[in-house]
C-alpha cells in the first residue's frame, strides 16, 4: 500500500536525576559525596533509508518515544543514557512542524538524517557540587525533559522524468513498455492510484528513473481528484513529459488536454510548465482525426516542446521516444550525479 503522507508524534527521553549520596566505608570516616549524574535521554531521529518507498509504517505507528535516562547512584555511578530511536523514512520525505508550519528538512538522499526531538540532559549528582567551602553538599539536579513535536511527513517521489497526463491517457502502458515497471493497467480512469517508478538503462552507460503520475483532472491544483497529492510527485522531476491520448475515444481533445495540464501545473507551482520538454501523441494505433493532431502540433510548436507520435500498446515510436529521453538525460548527467 502506497502512503505519501503521515502525521506522527515524537517524544525524546527525559534525563535521569542526579543522586545525593555519601561514601560509607569502614575505616573511612567522612568519605564525602559520591552521588553520580543522571543519564541523558535518548533522541528521536528521522533517517532517509534506501529500500523504503512508502510512509505506511509511520501511518500505522504514529507515536515514537525514546528511552529515558537512568538516575545516578552512589559510588559516583553515572546513570545509563536512554536509547535513541531511529525512524526510517523513504528518501524524498519532507518534514514539517505541524504546530508552526515550518519546513524542518527535506530528506532527499539515502543517509540524510534529522534529530527531530533532542533528549533531556541528565541532572548532576551531589559529587559535582563539592568544593573547598562545601565539603558535604546535599544539592542535586533533576533531569531535564526531552523535546516533543508533532510532525507532518510528506513523500515526494524522486524521479528524473515524470509522465503527466489526464486519466486513461496511457501513461501506465507507456512506462511498462519502456521499463521494467509493472503498474496496474485498465481501460478506465484512475487505474493508477499511486506513482509507479521505472528505470531506463541507456546503453549500459548510465541509467535514469521515470515516474508514472496518477492522472490529473481539471481543478487538480485545488485538490479535485486528489490532484494536489498527485502534483506533489512531479515537483522533484527535472523533466516532464505530457502523455496525450490523440484517439477519437479520448476523454478530451488532445489540445484541450494540453491546456488543462499546463494550467493545473502552473496553478500548483509556477515553474512546472517550464520543465515540460516532451509530449507524446499516444494511441496512434487507433482512429485519430487530422484536426486533433494539428492542434497538438501547434500547441507544442508554440511552446518549443518536442512532440513524438507513438503507440505504447504496439511499440510504434517507442525507440525514438527513449532515444530522445536518453539524449536529454545524458546532457544533464553531471548535475544528476553530483
pLDDT digits (tens, 9 = 90+) for 243-276: 999 999 888 889 999 999 999 889 888 999 999 9
pLDDT at 185: 52
- Which single residue is written with the C-alpha cell 508514472? 212
Task: Please answer whether residues 42 and 148 qualify as being in contact, where contact means their C-beta atoms are separated by less than 8 angstroms.
Answer: no
Q: How far apart (Å, rounded) are the C-alpha atoms in residues 213 and 255?
A: 20
pLDDT at 188: 45
Q: Which strands make up the sheet holding 161-164, listed edge to edge?
A: 196-202, 206-212, 161-164, 239-245, 276-282, 306-309
DSSP assignment string, 259-298:
HHHHHHHHHH-TTGGGGEEEEEEE-TTS---HHHHHHHHH
pLDDT at 202 over 90: no
Q: How far apart (Å, rounded) are the C-alpha atoms in residues 197 and 180?
A: 9
CB count within 10 Å of CB 16 equals: 30
Task: Please answer whether residues 155 and 54 qualify as being in contact, where contact means their C-beta atoms are separated by less than 8 angstroms.
Answer: yes
pLDDT digits (tens, 9 = 90+) for 161-197: 999 988 888 888 999 999 876 655 555 444 555 678 8
DSSP tag of 310: -
Task: Please answer whether residues 246 and 288 qualify as being in contact, where contact means their C-beta atoms are separated by less than 8 angstroms.
Answer: yes
Residues 43, 48, 52, 53, CA torsion sign:
positive
**Domain at 1-155, CATH from 2.70.210.12, 1.25.40.10, 1.10.10.10, 3.40.47.10:** 2.70.210.12
Average pLDDT along the chain = 88
Predicted TM-score of the model (pTM)? 0.77
Domains 1-155 and 161-337 share a fold: no
Task: Please answer whether residues 96 and 154 qualify as being in contact, where contact means their C-beta atoms are separated by less than 8 angstroms.
Answer: yes
Q: Please, which residues have CB within 8 angstroms of residue 19's CB and are 6 or more apart in sequence?
A: 35, 36, 37, 38, 71, 72, 73, 74, 77, 125, 126, 140
Q: How far apart (Å, rounded) are the C-alpha atoms in residues 203 and 185?
A: 28
How would you classify the pairing of strands 148-155 and 5-11? Answer: antiparallel
pLDDT at 2: 75
332: cell is: 544533464
Backbone angles phi, psi at 11, to 5 degrees: -140, 120
DSSP tag of 28: B
pLDDT at 76: 94
pLDDT at 12: 98
Q: How far apart (Å, rounded) are the C-alpha atoms in residues 188 and 170?
A: 10
Does the 161-337 domain belong in CATH 3.40.50.300?
yes
Cα–Cα distances (Å) from 52 to 88, 179, 186, 194, 260, in that order, read 8, 20, 27, 15, 33
Task: Please answer whether residues 216 and 262 qualify as being in contact, where contact means their C-beta atoms are separated by less than 8 angstroms.
Answer: no
Give me the residue spans of the domains in the chain: 1-155, 161-337
Amino acid at each position: 500500500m502506497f502512503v505519501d503522507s503521515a502525521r506522527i508524534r515524537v517524544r525524546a527521553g527525559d534525563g535521569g536525576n542526579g543522586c545525593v549520596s555519601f561514601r560509607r566505608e569502614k575505616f573511612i570516616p567522612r568519605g564525602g559525596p559520591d552521588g553520580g549524574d543522571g543519564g541523558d535521554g535518548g533522541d528521536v531521529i528521522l533517517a532517509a533509508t534506501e529500500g523504503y518507498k512508502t510512509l505506511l509504517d509511520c501511518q500505522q505507528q504514529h507515536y515514537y518515544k525514546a528511552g529515558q535516562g537512568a538516575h545516578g547512584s552512589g559510588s559516583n555511578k553515572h546513570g545509563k543514557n536512554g536509547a535513541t530511536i531511529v525512524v526510517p523514512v523513504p528518501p524524498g520525505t519532507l518534514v514539517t512542524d505541524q504546530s508552526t508550519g515550518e519546513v524542518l528538512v527535506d530528506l532527499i538522499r539515502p543517509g540524510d538524517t534529522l534529530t527531530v526531538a533532542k533528549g533531556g540532559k541528565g541532572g548532576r549528582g551531589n559529587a559535582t557540587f563539592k568544593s573547598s567551602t562545601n565539603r558535604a553538599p546535599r544539592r542535586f539536579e533533576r533531569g531535564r525533559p526531552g523535546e516533543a513535536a508533532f510532525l507532518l511527513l510528506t513523500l515526494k517521489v524522486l524521479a528524473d522524468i515524470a509522465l503527466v497526463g489526464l486519466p486513461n491517457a496511457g501513461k501506465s502502458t507507456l512506462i511498462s513498455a519502456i521499463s521494467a515497471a509493472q503498474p496496474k493497467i485498465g481501460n478506465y480512469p484512475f487505474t493508477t492510484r499511486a506513482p509507479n517508478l521505472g528505470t531506463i538503462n541507456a546503453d549500459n552507460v548510465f541509467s535514469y528513473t521515470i515516474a508514472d503520475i496518477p492522472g490529473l483532472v481539471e481543478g487538480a491544483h485545488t485538490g479535485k481528484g486528489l490532484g494536489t497529492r498527485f502534483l506533489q510527485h512531479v515537483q522533484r522531476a527535472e523533466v516532464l513529459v505530457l502523455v496525450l491520448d490523440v484517439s477519437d475515444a479520448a476523454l478530451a481533445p488532445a489540445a484541450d488536454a494540453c491546456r488543462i495540464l499546463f494550467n493545473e501545473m502552473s496553478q500548483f507551482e509556477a515553474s512546472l510548465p517550464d520543465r515540460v520538454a516532451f509530449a507524446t501523441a499516444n494511441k496512434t494505433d487507433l482512429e485519430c482525426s487530422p484536426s486533433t493532431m494539428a492542434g497538438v502540433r501547434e500547441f507544442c510548436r508554440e511552446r518549443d516542446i518536442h512532440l513524438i507520435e507513438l503507440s505504447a500498446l504496439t511499440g510504434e515510436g517507442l525507440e525514438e521516444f527513449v532515444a530522445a529521453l536518453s539524449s536529454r538525460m545524458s546532457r544533464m548527467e553531471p548535475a544528476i550525479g553530483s
